[in-house]
Amino acid sequence: MKYNLSAIEIMKFLGYCEPVGREKIKAFEQANQMILPESYRNFMELADGCPMLDTGDIWNSIDRIYFYYDSLNERILDECVLWDENPEAYQKDELYQLSQIPKEEWKTKVPNVLEIGSDYGGGIVMFGIAPDTMQEKNPPLYFQHEVDPCTLWRPDPTGRTISDFLLDVVLNELACIDYETAEEALEEMGWEYTELSFEKAFDECIQEAQIDLNMVKQYGQCSYLGIKSFCCCDEEKNILYVGYVKDEDVDIDTDAPVLYQISRAEE
């Protein structure tokens, strides 16, 4: 049994092996005169357009990512009519203040973060890569909550890196925590989902599959539901086991633990 797979290893195991996003990435980098971080770049080469991630917290298309300054420009254009009508009422508004200085000086107020995702279905939290970390192979994940000032982007409070974030997204999608998107997409590719813990106790399923949870060191975060997801694979049998267990640090009622088997459908 193989444990603690990376997001890229999981994608390749499931058949997403072709660098379908490579040309888009090259075009994006050339257009913006930059090189994307290796951890993000290598993942998106495989994941661009991947239907399994349609409901994930990462935007699964290079066409959807953008820089924060572009978003700020759009917001300023939307608000400028109101500002013109009564500028004194907005003197303390941070977006208004930003609009009053040259764009070349924005970097003294706010970083031009590359936005790569948001919490799907909510849009409350945005995820991105800070410009001063872009040269790192695996930079820290940055985020902005909707209640934060427009000038505030912070490192993830749990210290996640981009590769940690990508693994969270993949694991949570495979575990069908919020949506069955991954199950539907993988069935189209000839995989079959079986919820082993539906009719049997979770511990019994773990034992029969010969899974040692003590070997699992990397879990996908899903704190708002009080659970954490995991996976391991039996390479000989070509089976991926995915599940989630209760996060002991979060006091929320949950249906955990759950275990799925993802295997090739019988002909």
**Whole-number pLDDT of residue 185:** 97
Whether residues 20 and 145 share a domain: the answer is yes
Question: In this structure, is residue 78 part of a structural domain?
Answer: no
- Mean pLDDT along residues 58-62: 96
**Whole-number pLDDT of residue 51:** 97
Query: Which DSSP letter does residue 52 get?
Result: G
φ, ψ for residue 217 (rounded to 5)? -110, -15
Question: Contact, 241 vs 261, CB < 8 A?
Answer: yes
Question: In this structure, is residue 93 part of a structural domain?
Answer: no
Whether residues 49 and 142 share a domain: the answer is yes
Whether residues 137 and 254 share a domain: the answer is no
Whether residues 55 and 23 share a domain: the answer is yes
Whether residues 180 and 154 share a domain: the answer is no
Please check the confidence at residue 249 and state whether its pLDDT lies above 70.
no
Whether residues 148 and 53 share a domain: the answer is yes
CB-side neighbour CA atoms (13 Å) of 49: 10
Whether residues 137 and 197 share a domain: the answer is no
> Of 165, 189, 211, which residue sits at a domain end?
165
Whether residues 122 and 210 share a domain: the answer is no
Taking alpha carbons only, the member of 75, 184, 78 closest to residue 126 is: 75
**Whole-number pLDDT of residue 88:** 84
**Whole-number pLDDT of residue 121:** 77
**Whole-number pLDDT of residue 225:** 65
Whether residues 190 and 64 share a domain: the answer is no
* Cα 160-162-166 angle, rounded to 5 deg: 100
Q: What percent of the chain has pLDDT over 90?
A: 80
Question: In this structure, is residue 198 part of a structural domain?
Answer: yes
- Mean pLDDT along residues 130-157: 96
**Whole-number pLDDT of residue 254:** 61
Going by pLDDT thresholds of 50, 70 and 90, the confidence category of residue 253 is low
Question: In this structure, is residue 100 part of a structural domain?
Answer: no
Structural domain that includes position 146: 2-68+107-165
As for how many domains the chain has, the answer is: 2
**Whole-number pLDDT of residue 149:** 93
Taking alpha carbons only, the member of 57, 16, 45 closest to residue 172 is: 57
> Three-state DSSP class for 188?
helix
Question: In this structure, is residue 82 part of a structural domain?
Answer: no
**Weakest mean pLDDT among 68-77, 132-141, 234-243, 255-264:** 255-264
Rounded to an integer, what distance in angstroms lies between the CA atom of residue 37 and that of residue 65?
14
Q: Which amino acid is at 5?
A: L
Question: In this structure, is residue 130 part of a structural domain?
Answer: yes
- For 165-214, write each residue's pLDDT tens digit: 999 999 999 999 889 999 999 999 999 999 999 889 999 999 999 999 99
Whether residues 57 and 184 share a domain: the answer is no
Going by pLDDT thresholds of 50, 70 and 90, the confidence category of residue 267 is very low
What predicted TM-score, i.e. pTM, was given to this entire model?
0.92
Rounded to an integer, what distance in angstroms lies between the CA atom of residue 21 and that of residue 60?
10
Whether residues 184 and 125 share a domain: the answer is no
Whether residues 114 and 241 share a domain: the answer is no
